[in-house]
Amino acid sequence: MAASFQTQILSVLGSKTKYLMELKKTFARPLMQLAVKAIELEHIEEGVLERISKKYNIPEDHIDEYYFAILTILKTYLRLQCHILKPTEFKQCLEELRLAPDCIEDLSSVIYGPKQSYLLSGLIQRTKFNPQLISCRWRVDITISSNILNRVLEPNIIMEWIFNTGECVTFELSLAKFHQLRHTIATILVELQALERHNIFKTIHSS
């Protein structure tokens, strides 16, 4: 779970990961408070990032990146439902991403503090989660006898998907369809990662 959490952060931030190591407690704390408000769906005053930029004499585009980085950490944790991720593991992940120790402590206090349930509730309301895939099992079946000659010895993939709602779906794929499914999922993931790096996506998060 710790590896998945860290991988997701790196995937979303991409080259912007460098902003994590630039975070300082003085200006990171108000950005964390702002991120919490955004997740909890509280009203955020217009121009608040600009005011933080002026107060700490930091370029506004840098403040935008710092805010996005903090929001990414919080939302990634909540989306992955990393409740089994121990505080020590959470801190170690952020240490490896080269965050300052005091920023790590503040983020840990947010994640593991009394607001955790409210944060998760706010994120669910905002994103309207669809059922999540929690288990995928598969096996290969090979037809050794068939009335259709071109299907003899042709492998098929039998897949069983289990969702967090308890629903279990079993289906069969030809080898060609399996590769098509794999390619489609990989394409969607790449496109989502590109979308989350886009400036307009950060604007939507902070609205």
CA 28, 77, 194, 96 dihedral sign is positive
pLDDT above 60: residue 206: no
138 shares its domain with 123: no
Cα distance between residue 192 and residue 85, in whole Å: 25
Domain boundary among 76, 94, 127: 127
- 118 lies in a domain? yes
Cα distance between residue 107 and residue 36, in whole Å: 11
145 shares its domain with 82: no
Q: State the amino acid at position 4 in one-letter form.
A: S
pLDDT above 50: residue 8: yes
Q: Longest Cα pair distance anywhere in the chain, in angstroms?
A: 77
123 shares its domain with 137: no
Per-residue pLDDT, 136: 86
Domain boundary among 99, 127, 155: 127
85 shares its domain with 152: no
- 203 lies in a domain? no
Confidence of residue 4 (pLDDT cuts 50, 70, 90): confident
Per-residue pLDDT, 6: 79
3-state secondary structure of 82: coil
Q: What is the mean pLDDT of the chain?
A: 80
154 shares its domain with 111: no
Instruction: Give backbone dihedrals phi and psi of 124, rounded to 5 degrees, phi first.
Output: -65, -45
pLDDT above 80: residue 119: no
More confident residue, 6 or 172: 172
- Over the stretch 185-198, which tens digit does the pLDDT of each residue have? 888 888 877 776 66
Q: Which domain holds residue 172?
A: 133-197
CA-based nearest residue to 154, from 164, 163, 139, 144 = 144
Q: What residues form DSSP beta bridges with 171?
A: 159
Is 38:6 a contact under the CB 8 Å cutoff? no
Per-residue pLDDT, 207: 45
Q: Most confidently modeled of 68-77, 117-126, 134-143, 192-201?
A: 68-77
pLDDT above 50: residue 115: yes
Confidence of residue 89 (pLDDT cuts 50, 70, 90): confident
CA-based nearest residue to 58, from 28, 103, 97 = 28
